[in-house]
Structure 1
Amino acid sequence: MIQIGAKGTLKRLDEMLESAMNGTFDETSYDETELSRLESRWKQYFTAQGQLVGQVKKERENIRTLVSDISHQTKTPLANILLYAELLDEKAENEEEKMLAGQIVRQTEKLQFLLQSLVKMSRLETGILELSPADGEIAPMIRETAASLQKRAEAKNICLDCELEERVRCRFDRKWTSEALGNIIDNAVKYSPEESRITIRIRKYEFYACIEVEDQGPGIAEEERAQIFGRFYRGKQMRQEEGVGIGLYLAREILEKEEGYIKVSSADGTGSRFSIYLPISQESAGYPGSEI
């Protein structure tokens, strides 16, 4: 029986690891040496791992199909319910009938929002949805997102004040970063008192651009700050407001997929400041800034 020296053993182990990482590992001719037995065990392990990966891919594809079916099958019925509720509102003969029709509209819109949020959450968690970050100026995206929520703010006489440095560039997926930022601004509008102010600003640091959303709302108690980014979590003071507790969770998931992050600073009764951090683009990384 040929004995392989220590150098030959290390070389063979290196070859085994290399082929395993490339997905081409195969057992060489079997004999009674310890190295050959190790090869045989590795072959069994990688075969089992390959089967597991295949099973995970199949389950992910099943989830993709289920999510697509849910989205497709619920879209038309909900749109029809909204249409009929609006017709009822138009034909209402008294205030009570108008109130009931309005309730149908609001609850249907809430259900639509919940289903859309669940679909987005499912796609993010299962990896079905892939973000495509690219270098670009971030101020235009912030303005566009704030403008989409302007009417909601005006309904409560809330001032949306954008203090933006024009030439800040970072890596982000425009559509999904706007989704994350929109969720944060929407929460600020929802929970802020009438005739208050929400300030949105950009700060530039050495490695990150920071978007701050600062409100004059009720604030967040210290014991709740670690929980607000969890799925379906709603703060004790916020439960009287309509909502499902998914917005901040989605924002965190989106930012993590962009190699960014989010944090909050607040105190009970003194307003909140949410800070979104996104990687600075390479071409502007040398810009002098503060330290985080």
Structure 2
Amino acid sequence: MKIFINKEVKMLFIALAVVFLFFMILGQITVELAADDYKRNMIFHDYGVAGYLARNELDESQIIRSFTTEKTNDDVKKGRELLQQAGYDSNTQNSLLSAVEHFYHKYALIFLILSITFSVMVCAVFLLFILRQYKRIEKAISDIQAFMAGNVGIRLNDHEEGSLSKLFTSINIMATSQAAHIEKEKQNREFLKDTISDISHQLKTPLAALKMYNEIIQNENCGNDVVDSFTSKIEREIARMESLIQNLLKLAKLDSGSIELEKHTHNLKEFLEETIEGFRTRAKLEGKAIVLHCDEHITMNFDKEWMLEAVSNIIKNALDHTGAKNLIEVRCDETPVFIQITIKDNGMGIHPEDIHHIFKRFYRSRFSKDKQGVGIGLTLSKAIVENHGGTITVESELGKGTAFYLAFPKLSNL
């Protein structure tokens, strides 16, 4: 049977077999002792009968023969009839026969003690087996948690035999593969960060030159409407490229884990008011309204510069996808468990096909009318929120609006 390949199970059954064998031998010894005890009691009883008969002047030779000679069926029948007249038969209560009562109580107690001892020993064997397995599993859980916490060099003890060791070996193989994957992913992220950083820095010089040349052309005031139109377009595109480069650099730093957040406790309402203030002019020019609902006593621990980037990107996204007379609501709520920032608009909403992809970098919806965005703002917001220990989710209904929920567990703000 495959079960006996497991060393722990094999040792368990060996231990149980030893216990059973021990108590089988002990049982045989107890039976022999009981037989000897019964023999002594019977002989002692016969001594009393013989003495009684001798005291009543029966012939001694006849008394001896009555105990030593073989009895016939007629003798047994005659004796039964005689003693039954006095109520002495197999139905007589044990309590009326002191020798039988004593014998019963003595060996009932002995077998009770043996039964209890046997049960305790069997339970002890099972308990030791379970405790040993439990200890190994607890150690394995601790090691796995350490691995998940970042100690990728830790491995489970798989040097023993048995099913657990086979399982631990499989986990170790998986851990080695995962560690290699983590290292490779780390190298890829570092390479991506360096590449984006290098490209971005290389682009800064030609962009600065283009910006300068465009400003020179604008300052010439040549009076050509076509030239003026194109220089304005060039200025907008240069601004877009500068914004994209900056966002790529920020995202690369977040992805590589090279950013150390400088968290401080801030009044959330004051922070959100400052953030919204940067969009007041645009909202007014576009005929839109931004309102804030937030309790002035809510405080949260976060990096102000990075959180400003995260919230600003979402508010900008709301302005990009709402029309004149639309409303953007910013709300903050506090519960015993978390603090939540909600940014909600009543604009065009997100198409159902796009709702699961909006946080992917450079994702552009085929349903979106926005042709100016580069598809990285929401990705950056998500990375910043998650680096603060929070989560970001979105709900939207096409034609009715969109709501972003930024939830930060209070434990992550300690």
- Say yes or no: TM over 0.5: yes
Query: Counterparts in 2 of 1:7-26, with a 5 A limit?
Result: none
Matched residue, 2:220: 91
Matched residue, 2:272: 142
2:356 is aligned with 1:226: yes
**How far apart in 1 are the matches of 2:317 and 2:177?**
47
Residue in structure 2 matching 1:253, options 383, 386, 393? 383
2:158 is aligned with 1:158: no
2:312 is aligned with 1:205: no
Higher helix share: 2
* TM-aligned CA deviation for residue 87 of structure 1: 2.0
1:164-216 per-residue CA deviation (whole Å, 9 max, x = no partner) reads: 21111223222211111100000111121123321212112221111111222
1:217-254 per-residue CA deviation (whole Å, 9 max, x = no partner) reads: 11123333222222222334424441011111221122
1:142-181 per-residue CA deviation (whole Å, 9 max, x = no partner) reads: 1221112222222212222222211112232222111111
**How far apart in 1 are the matches of 2:300 and 2:333?**
12
Partner SS, residue 333 of structure 2: strand
Moved more, 93-102 or 170-179: 170-179
**How far apart in 1 are the matches of 2:358 and 2:315?**
15
Residue in structure 2 matching 1:124, options 243, 254, 274? 254
1:170 and 1:281 in contact (8 A); partners too: no
Structure 1 residues 276 and 47: alpha-carbon distance in aligned structure 2, compared to 1, 3 A threshold: closer
Matched residue, 1:78: 207
2:302 and 2:413 in contact (8 A); partners too: no
Identity %: 30
In structure 2, what residue type is equivalent to 1:95?
D
* TM-aligned CA deviation for residue 58 of structure 1: 5.2
Partner SS, residue 193 of structure 1: coil
Partner SS, residue 353 of structure 2: helix
2:392 is aligned with 1:262: yes
Partner SS, residue 218 of structure 1: coil
Moved more, 210-219 or 115-124: 115-124
Matched residue, 2:23: none
Matched residue, 1:111: 241
Structure 1 residues 169 and 61: alpha-carbon distance in aligned structure 2, compared to 1, 3 A threshold: same
Partner SS, residue 151 of structure 1: helix
Partner SS, residue 238 of structure 1: coil
The TM-score with structure 2 as length reference comes to: 0.55
Structure 1 residues 259 and 92: alpha-carbon distance in aligned structure 2, compared to 1, 3 A threshold: same
In structure 1, what residue type is equivalent to 2:299?
R
Matched residue, 2:365: 235
2:289 and 2:325 in contact (8 A); partners too: yes
Residue in structure 1 matching 2:320, options 187, 190, 205? 190
1:201 and 1:212 in contact (8 A); partners too: yes
2:212 is aligned with 1:69: no
How many residue pairs align between the two structures? Answer: 278
Structure 1 residues 49 and 253: alpha-carbon distance in aligned structure 2, compared to 1, 3 A threshold: closer
1:220 and 1:267 in contact (8 A); partners too: yes
Matched residue, 2:308: 178
* TM-aligned CA deviation for residue 12 of structure 1: 10
Matched residue, 1:290: none
1:170 and 1:208 in contact (8 A); partners too: no
Is the radius of gyration larger for structure 1 or structure 2? 2
Structure 1: gaps (5+ residues): 285-292
* TM-aligned CA deviation for residue 112 of structure 1: 1.5
Higher relative contact order (CA 8 A, sep 6+): 1
Matched residue, 1:274: 404
1:265 and 1:272 in contact (8 A); partners too: yes
